[in-house]
Structure 1
């Protein structure tokens, strides 16, 4: 769009300015819907099974400020939904054996239906070993080899799908986005976020997927290749943790952009702020966009509540109550 400014002697200089035309996908609305559904289902179940008390335990190592914020949000969501929750804190010097002993004890506690190991872990602890110590039936994060393997085979109503991947799946469904035969780019290949998302996008619809042609990009992908594949993508999901990685020159009109990045950066005034992986200028493209904050994050927390209720139902022999 053009407008002009007037300088001395009446000369007019045309200038171009841009406006935001992207449509924001409000993740908070979907998150609130999911939490309300969990809350209402729990109320209904308790009418006939008053002893039904789903509970998750979060195991936190050290004093990571970001982790503390996430844990607080999870507990607040649990309280709203009517779920029980508690956090067990350990010093970052805890040994791997001691931590696994704690997890094994929690696995055997019938009053606990979900176990979360808050990531990241200190360097001396093996994330793979620790996450796989959680019993698959209580793995509400969906990080164990068993649950990730089930995701590879088929996404069913009894699967523990990783919460962020499930959030992305439900956002796409709630937006009514056409996916069959379309192209998706997933930036990031972590086993608990990027890879599960890529599996869901590319999987056969009969297995719960979206039938998309999926391109996986990561830190070894050259910049020019990343830009090229993004320009042709109908959906771009970025979980790279790199602020402003994708800008408007890499986005085609009509695309759906799902920002999983949550990056803490300094503003011009020196204040800590949160930014996603998409540059702010992508809002100048006619696309759909999840904001940061307020997009995928709240949905991830909501689906942790969903998975906790699911785990409790499976352990109690209550099946398909939500369907």
Structure 2
């Protein structure tokens, strides 16, 4: 089938036939996707961070299917995607001055803000909380799809829960082919890691999930300190990425912070079923193949390792990597023990 046409994908009996829609060559791709969304279906679409699995935010049945398709815990909130800063008024009970400041500087972009939830938004969207997480993505396909649909879209990452987030349409199909109505193919994601999430209901504001926009950038705009959540216990989690194991391949992820640690790991891990991810400027004299460690390709590397049957992924965390809060957050979560491995 040609690259630009709508693909009708085969599916087992009883499963959805997932459409692959390409707006680059099919002018009806986005209108078709919007029509599916308005009818209560789920559609995956690209953003600048990762691909999202969208459903109309005011359709509680569609939102429930998002949780079911992903195998997502019911107390793990979804992020609502809007096409204009003013559209936040449909999903947030009030828009404080801090919201407008951040929207002016960072929308559209990889920033999610946590505000008080509007009563019109089904509680299931926010995991039963009275808060809502929302953002305006910096991707023309995502913005046009929201506009054509006519309402905000609730959209977590378009993958099975716990798996690496998808950064291209093929990743979505690996996890969800036959389970959702359509995937809109917008190519590879620019950033490749999920958005920064900042809680504007806290004083001072707190970053609940690191992303491409840093605490320093937010503080400069807000004129007050912005801190990072330090992992303390919360009665409820107003942001995704805080409570459950995320971003992880099937392979074991091992983080090393020195040449000595790396040597030890390479002596103990079977090299025939291991790979090493390292920055191009890693100061270690390695005589084995390296895969590049970059934020925008991290999840693609994880998925490629799983397809190749790799058992161990060794990640070299140089000082430069350690200074990247978003990348280190994803690496530490991927390296965390699986629940059944914990004492």
Q: Which structure carries more relative contact order (alpha carbon 8 Å, separation 6+)? A: 1
* Same fold? TM cut 0.5: no
Structure (1 or 2) with the greater helix fraction:
1
TM-score under structure 2 length normalisation: 0.26
Rg (Cα) greater in structure:
1
